[in-house]
Structure 1
Amino acid sequence: MRSFARLVHVVGSALLVASFLVGANAFAAGSPQTITSGSLKIERHGNHGSPIVLIPGLGGGPWVWQNTIDNMEKNHVVYALTLAGFDGMPMPKQGGNLFDLADQSLGNWLQSAHIGKPILVGHSLGATLALRFASEHPELIAGVVAVDGLPLFPGMDRVSDEQRKAMATMMQKHMTSFTPEQFKAEQLTYMRQTGMIDQEQAEHYAFLNARSDIQATAQYMAEDLSSDLRPGLKNATVPILEISPYKESDFSTGPMKMSEQQKADYYKSLLANAPNAKVVSISPARHFVMLDQPVKFQQVLDQFIASVH
């Protein structure tokens, strides 16, 4: 009887310890691979190697990084984020500034999860968030890859702060008036004209983007348009790589006429305050460069990661 009681005690203790370990690490083997932390949803892919955190752009979800995840999960632990209001994630109940909330949620998660110093890879608005995070919390990360996302919305360096904020307010008011059908149509037009080269892919990804909350999309866009993160970049001491996509026909005429080198130089000027930033151009590609040029994109990303580690 004593040995049976001892066995029950040992097994019970083991189960208690196992239960504690699974609870302490939501990504442990056999547990769900998705958690929510603050305003973020976090998917984990892979189980060894240096950590990479992927942040989608406006309206995006982990699906925008699928090629990248497939390529990297063999050698890295990849965390794909979804921001509040995007891809089925609800808007925060407490309201407030969405960039502030995302920044706070990311910082709290990195400090509590103890995953090591990751490289943040952000697209568009996600890149802007990554650059802001690098300016405020450089000690928590190893580097940033900003995929066609900047500390200041392109062209907004030519207007005053007041003009920029007024434009952001007007844009938000206009976008929040969209019906779901109008929002879907707007996403499709954007994807076809600016998002990506392949028109069939453009339609597919426009449908996915349109699943996001209209109010959230408008608020994130307004916060992005009205902000200027350039002064804070002096504190972003980690290595930063800005990826500038270029498609010649998109920049051959009109007020946006510029060569590939001129576009890369303009991006570099907006990052001038960052101590350790460089710009790489990938062509032919539009805004979703990782979808237009997945092989070139992955090569550039792998080279940067190798240089950091």
Structure 2
Amino acid sequence: MPRTEDVPAEGRGAMAEGMQRQMAGLAGPAFAAQQRQYMRTIGMVDMGKADDAAQLTARSDPAAVERYIGAVLAQDLRPRLPSITAPVLVLAPYFAPDLAEGGITALEKVAYYRELMTGTKRLEVAPVDNARHFAMIDQPRAFNEALRQFLKTL
């Protein structure tokens, strides 16, 4: 999980429990509002698409989402990256206004993702401009082109 790389192994469980506590009890309208907020700030650039996706994700079981987030935060899979033998494509979506708030550039975000994947033998990191987490929805043409270019290298 990006931005957790500096959390030591013993702190990951506490971080996961904290996030689970934060999400505990979210149901109905509160869970729907949380999903809408996520999609609008992290998920997608287009607010209409973000709201459409939030309506779908709000139908998820909040307890299952809570468990999933806890499980993801508790893990650090980076030590196992060197065992990956297949070629790997990581897309680095960026949305300029978000990056400006964080004080980083698009190139720095690509470098960050590359560093997170250190040890991956056959790694390609491709930027996707004007996109957030769901780059395939924000920029389907750019997403498909990055995938197409990666597949050509195989």
> Does the TM-score normalized on the shorter chain lie above 0.5?
yes
Q: Which has the larger radius of gyration?
A: 1
CA distance in 2, matches of 1:218, 1:307: 38
**What is the match of residue 2 of structure 2?**
154
**What is the match of residue 250 of structure 1?**
98
Q: CA deviation at 1:297?
A: 0.6
**What is the match of residue 111 of structure 2?**
265
CA distance in 2, matches of 1:260, 1:186: 27
Pairwise CA RMSD: 1.1
Aligned residues: 154
Alignment partner of 2:48 out of 187, 193, 200? 200
Alignment partner of 2:86 out of 238, 255, 270? 238
In the alignment, structure 1 residue 276 sits paired with structure 2 residue 122: yes
Alignment partner of 1:293 out of 133, 139, 149? 139
CA distance in 1, matches of 2:103, 2:65: 28
Q: CA deviation at 1:158?
A: 1.8
**What is the match of residue 65 of structure 2?**
217
Higher strand share: 1
Identity of aligned residues (%): 37
AA aligned to 1:248 is A
**What is the match of residue 13 of structure 2?**
165
AA aligned to 2:133 is H
Higher helix share: 2
- Structure 1, gaps ≥5 residues long: 1-152
CA deviations 1:157-213 (Å, max 9, x no partner) are 122222222011111122121122110000001111111111111111100011111
AA aligned to 1:162 is E
AA aligned to 2:19 is M
Q: Which runs of 4+ in 1 moved over 3 A?
A: none
Q: CA deviation at 1:257?
A: 2.0
CA deviations 1:111-144 (Å, max 9, x no partner) are xxxxxxxxxxxxxxxxxxxxxxxxxxxxxxxxxx
**What is the match of residue 53 of structure 1?**
none
- Structure 2, gaps ≥5 residues long: none
Q: CA deviation at 1:300?
A: 1.1
Which structure carries more relative contact order (alpha carbon 8 Å, separation 6+)? 2
